[in-house]
Amino acid sequence: MSQFANYIDGQWVDGASVSRNVNPSNLDDVIGEFAQADAEQTHRAISAARKAFAQWSLSTPQQRFDVLDQAGSAILARKAELGKVLAREEGKTLPEAIGEVGRAGQIFKFFAGEALRVGGEVMPSVRPGMTVEMTREPVGVVGLITPWNFPIAIPAWKIAPALAYGNTVVIKPADLVPGSTWELVKIIAEAGAPAGVINLVMGRGSVVGEALVSSPDVDAISFTGSVSTGRAIGAKCFDSGKKFQLEMGGKNPMVVLDDADLNVAIEACINGAFYSTGQRCTASSRLIVTAGIYDRFIDGMKARMRALKVGDALADGTHIGPVVDDKQLAQDERYLAIARDEGGTVFGGERVEGSTRGYFLAPALVTETTPAMRINREEVFGPVASVIKVKDYQEALAVANGTEFGLSAGICTTSLKYASHFRRHVQAGMVMVNTATAGVDYHVPFGGRKGSSYGPREQGAYAREFYTSVKTAYINPGAV
Ligand code: NDP
């Protein structure tokens, strides 16, 4: 059985115990045994990051560019192989997994450039003879806590800006899928990151995550995951004076208006709701459809859903891979039962037999729902979408905004008037017109509003708001 160690202060070290990483498409396939850190080992990683910060925070932009650029090239060159690891441990299809790895590589390339671009501003002072300079400095040791659904892209979009701006890192990937992050950290180490600059501690959130969040030696925490965990982490960071950033759940609306191109709308909804097994925080989980197109839309969705092949993530022709584990499968089925109990009608959503033992679930469309039903209020995080019938655009917009979340939102329409109004008035961090709510570029900001996100945006040049601290200097040349 392959063994995978933690990476602390430039050394691969065994953990206090190990955990098995199992393929959700085939429960007889074990990817390997991964080290589980305890609190003491996590503190050693934090100390190593603290020590390395002294040098790395003063490294030249060229040094940081070189490490990130080389890591980006290595990720891109090994896209197919790393994509297989990802599909095997998380269950998204091989093309989706290779796409995610490609995105991780591009993120490293982008932030290699950012290391060179981060500058400052100079302004004349309001006082005679003085100048004011605003510069950015790294925040310090950052703790990164990531979820299971994007096991290489999310670690990449946190690690790359952290290192580009001169911070040192301790990362804790989701216990369920540590393999892709392990490969990523190895690539960064091999690209020349000095000892202690990047540290990997795998293990449980309640142990390793907790140790990161409670350590006085960690300056900032960037978290992606569920709302309940995120809020608890945020409260602890606030109490201990840490900078923090939370990316959490979504209940993303996709509005389909009478004047939509039906094929465009159906493709956007199939992709947004069901691809990656619906396990995306940006998934279109509420389809809000006006009465004039409703029947044609539902018929078209059902026809497309019948043609979707559910099965082994690594097999050719699979459209939807397995659910990630038994707990998530039970959650998906529980929500389908709740939707039925509340009066909804479920199309699909049955278990699918594969040639291997895996967690296969057919995509499900829940009709006859109202905005107040739990299926329309709570995040399911599976291949499940519900449909809400509305009379017109105004009602659609009100329903779209009637949620505690605000990550991504979409509209399918051929009307410039409605598309423009929606773009301005929907309460979400990201808005999509005639395209799926999920699937974003790597060089622009990512994040939401309301209960979905807290703190500065991730990705693109906006990431510097979190990973740097601004210093304002007043200079009186006469006295120097
Ligand atoms: P969780 O919130 O359960 O876990 C996220 C991470 O936090 C994991 O690494 C987990 O560790 C860790 N963690 C758990 N408890 C603690 C704790 N007490 N202290 C510190 N860390 C802790 O989410 P999931 O991994 O289950 O991911 C699914 C959720 O993430 C969904 O709700 C989804 O909406 C959301 N998500 C949001 C995204 C966004 O950008 N808005 C993107 C992707 C997902 P462990 O390994 O033990 O689980």
CATH of the domain at 86: 3.40.605.10
Does one domain contain both 55 and 193? yes
Does one domain contain both 45 and 156? yes
Integer-rounded Cα radius of gyration of the chain: 23
Confidence (pLDDT) at 477: 81
Does one domain contain both 163 and 70? yes
Does one domain contain both 63 and 165? yes
The atom of ligand 1 lying closest to the CA of 232 is: 18
Confidence (pLDDT) at 466: 98
Supply the residue whose CA is at minimum distance from atom 32 of ligand 1: 226
Q: Is 33 a catalytic residue?
A: no
Supply the residue whose CA is at minimum distance from atom 34 of ligand 1: 249
Q: Residue 440: inside a domain, yes or no? A: no
pTM, entire model: 0.97
CA distances to 131, 164, 470, 471, 472 from 475, in Å: 5, 28, 16, 13, 10
Number of structural domains (the chain) is: 2
Does one domain contain both 128 and 98? yes
Q: Residue 203: inside a domain, yes or no? A: yes
User: Ligand 1 center to residue 148 CA distance, Å?
Assistant: 7
Q: Which residues constitute the domain of residue 231?
A: 3-248+452-475
Does one domain contain both 152 and 53? yes
User: For residues 389 and 289, is the Cβ–Cβ distance under 8 A?
Assistant: yes
Q: Residue 446: inside a domain, yes or no? A: no
Q: Residue 85: inside a domain, yes or no? A: yes
Confidence (pLDDT) at 354: 86
Does one domain contain both 338 and 461? no
The atom of ligand 1 lying closest to the CA of 172 is: 9
**Pick the catalytic residue: 90, 247, 378, 458?**
247
Q: Residue 438: inside a domain, yes or no? A: no
Does one domain contain both 211 and 351? no
Q: Residue 422: inside a domain, yes or no? A: yes
Q: Residue 442: inside a domain, yes or no? A: no
Per DSSP, helices labelled H in 91-172 are 94-117, 153-164
396-402: long-range contacts, CB 8 A cutoff, minimum separation 24: 396/255, 396/257, 396/288, 396/290, 397/255, 397/421, 397/422, 397/425, 397/426, 399/253, 399/286, 399/288, 399/371, 400/253, 400/255, 400/286, 400/288, 400/426, 401/425, 401/426, 401/427, 402/371
Please provide the DSSP assignment of 451-470 as one string.
Answer: GGEESSPBSSGGGHHHHEEE
Tokens found for residue 150: 């994007």
User: For residues 122 and 132, is the Cβ–Cβ distance under 8 A?
Assistant: yes
Does one domain contain both 265 and 307? yes
Does one domain contain both 354 and 429? yes
Does one domain contain both 225 and 305? no
Q: Residue 94: inside a domain, yes or no? A: yes
Task: Pick from 38, 277, 281 the residue to mutate for probing ligand 1's pocket: most ligand atoms within 8 Å of its CB.
Answer: 281
The atom of ligand 1 lying closest to the CA of 407 is: 41
pLDDT truncated to tens, each residue of the chain (480 aa)?
Answer: 899 999 999 999 999 999 999 999 999 999 999 999 999 999 999 999 999 999 999 999 999 999 999 999 999 999 999 999 999 999 999 999 999 999 999 999 999 999 999 889 999 999 998 999 999 999 999 999 999 999 999 999 999 999 999 999 999 999 999 999 999 999 999 999 999 999 999 999 999 999 999 999 999 999 999 999 999 999 999 999 999 999 999 999 999 999 999 999 999 999 999 999 999 999 999 999 999 999 999 999 999 999 999 999 999 999 999 999 999 999 999 999 999 999 999 999 999 998 899 999 999 999 999 999 999 999 999 999 999 999 999 999 999 999 999 999 999 999 999 999 999 999 999 999 999 999 999 999 999 999 999 999 999 999 999 999 999 999 998 765
User: For residues 141 and 213, is the Cβ–Cβ distance under 8 A?
Assistant: no
User: Ligand 1 center to residue 226 CA distance, Å?
Assistant: 5
Task: Spell out which residues line ligand 1, taking CB within 6 angstroms.
Answer: 145-149, 172, 174-175, 204-206, 209-210, 213, 224-226, 229, 233, 247-250, 281, 379, 381, 407, 452
User: Ligand 1 center to residue 143 CA distance, Å?
Assistant: 14
Confidence (pLDDT) at 479: 63
Does one domain contain both 130 and 260? no
CATH code assigned at 365: 3.40.309.10
